[in-house]
A and B are shown apart, each in its own frame.
Chain A
């Protein structure tokens, strides 16, 4: 039942080309969400 360690997995993401770009888009998405939620808070306060 010992597992064989996976070989180095160079598989790129299915979009945006590199994982670095995917991570950047996720962090930008978070920044946009926070900005929208802040605007939402201010607008309806």
Chain B
């Protein structure tokens, strides 16, 4: 990276947390520290919700995914607006009127202490393991592309993140998120314009979109219902709704964002903002990836985007033959793409159809040649499952973006890592203090004591995240397993909140055992079926609800009254 890139990157990474800390000055109570004194306007909450969800991987991996697999991943987000509407109408007023710091605190008011404790522990386990990965993921990609030390990178971004989160609490986190999302949007727009400006002059934007579509990269919507297909309209709408309900309605790292609202209306608007903006934003990110694909139709890409992997296979005797096969296939595809562009301009349908057919055949040839390179690497390493999707976009950025823009894009990646991690740290500390420490160890201490405890637990969770990230590389597949297992918990949390909000006759023990039964159902699905993971959210939630309702028939304890008035849309 050039000096200018370094200056822009370092300035962006320090100035944004500095602004957040400045906005958090005057934080003197637990209410200020954990809920920003309930003063946040809708746009700050809306951007903070978005920033907490959008990790560095969102920008690194999503563009790469579009490059490899097309835009069908956008369907994953179709359920989000529906979930936002449901939460705005139900969870937001209930949580606000209950006067709670955490979503799980409400569960004790509605059910009992053990249900609250189980939900809190599930959250701490899931989020506590994931928070280190949020810091580690961008560092490992940077280490491969720039040769930076991944442990030092993790340490630097981790320390910045822990300092501003511990010092400023949720006001610092939220206002930092606001600026971070603004920079991220600016970086994305700049990125798209840069990609388009790098395309061949005679191709034009319309031609680029046309070529991307011709090889199926613009496959945004798939109407076919297939239970084993991860991304289609139906899994996105139904599974995506349940997943988003679980994440935004039951995960404290998100619930805490909209608990900071100055009113129910402001919190609702924060969610509505996400409902409106999220799908277009994801479409935009995926579209950037599709345009990178078109760029590489005319500029030779590396056979593998991971530099270490290329170094490894280049030492193999089969390498020169494989590379030659890839170069030939790429040249065929380039000629086919040029021919398709000419046929399109001629506006002759038979000529276009023939060119499209030829172009698709050439694309298959490139895919097969690249696969040969992948197999060569897997053979050299002795392990299957190589995937360089995460390296596509940053390899492109570092090689072709102008000086200055590279620094901004790298800063965007790191600020995204910090924004998601800071939200998670803040939520972990809140649940630890409110649901565990105050509830079970020191119920009657002073506000000053809990403020101090909140800062201590934020720092401790931050230290845990940084240390975990330091060793994440050695954990290998465990990191992947942790992420996967983490996604299995949302249906259980969602199920118990559905019972709490909508089934007034269900009591504490029934809800508790309903959670246990639902988790067992999800684990059985994962172990013994091929059902795509998005459907676990639907299955797990339904099992929790049905079990809870069924088991409540055998409980004799009186039902605790819900602490909130009837719902109003």
Contacts and interface: CB of A to CB of B under 8 A. Distances in A.
A30 B565 CA distance: 30
Contacts of B525: none
B214 A9 contact: no
Nearest to A24: B85
B78 interface: yes
Given A3-B100, A26-B272, A45-B213, A12 B264 contact: no
Contacts of A13: 265, 268-269
Contact of A37 (B74, B214, B565): B74
Given A23-B88, A40-B218, A33 B279 contact: yes
Given A3-B31, A44-B212, A27 B569 contact: no
Contact of B569 (A3, A11, A20): A20
Contacts of B85: 23, 26-27
A23 to B, nearest CB: 5
A19 B218 CA distance: 35
A41 B216 CA distance: 9
A33 B280 contact: yes
Interface in B250-277: 263-265, 268-269, 272, 275-276
A13 to B, nearest CB: 6
A38 B224 CA distance: 12
Contacts of A30: 78, 81-82, 275, 279
A2 B29 CA distance: 11
Contact of B233 (A11, A34, A44): A34
Given A4-B99, A5-B98, A12 B220 contact: no
Interface residues of B, number: 49
Contact of A41 (B78, B99, B219, B268): B219
A8 B98 CA distance: 11
Contacts, number: 101
A5 B84 CA distance: 23
Contacts of A9: 93, 96-97, 263-265
A24 to B, nearest CB: 9
Contacts of A1: 29-31, 447, 450
Nearest to A2: B99
A5 B563 contact: yes
B84 A26 contact: yes
Contact of A22 (B82, B96, B209, B272): B272
A45 B219 contact: yes
B82 A27 contact: yes
B414 interface: no
Contact of A8 (B209, B223, B565): B565
A1 to B, nearest CB: 4
26 contacts: A1-B29, A1-B450, A2-B99, A4-B99, A5-B96, A5-B99, A6-B97, A11-B265, A13-B269, A19-B88, A19-B569, A20-B569, A22-B272, A23-B88, A26-B84, A26-B272, A30-B78, A30-B279, A33-B280, A37-B221, A40-B221, A41-B219, A41-B220, A44-B212, A45-B213, A45-B216
Given A4-B99, A18-B569, A40-B218, 16 more contacts: A1-B30, A3-B99, A6-B264, A12-B265, A13-B268, A19-B88, A19-B268, A23-B89, A30-B82, A30-B275, A33-B279, A37-B74, A41-B220, A41-B221, A45-B218, A45-B219
Interface of B: 29-31, 35, 74, 78, 81-82, 84-85, 88-89, 93, 96-101, 209-210, 212-214, 216, 218-223, 233, 263-265, 268-269, 272, 275-276, 279-280, 283, 447, 450, 563-565, 569
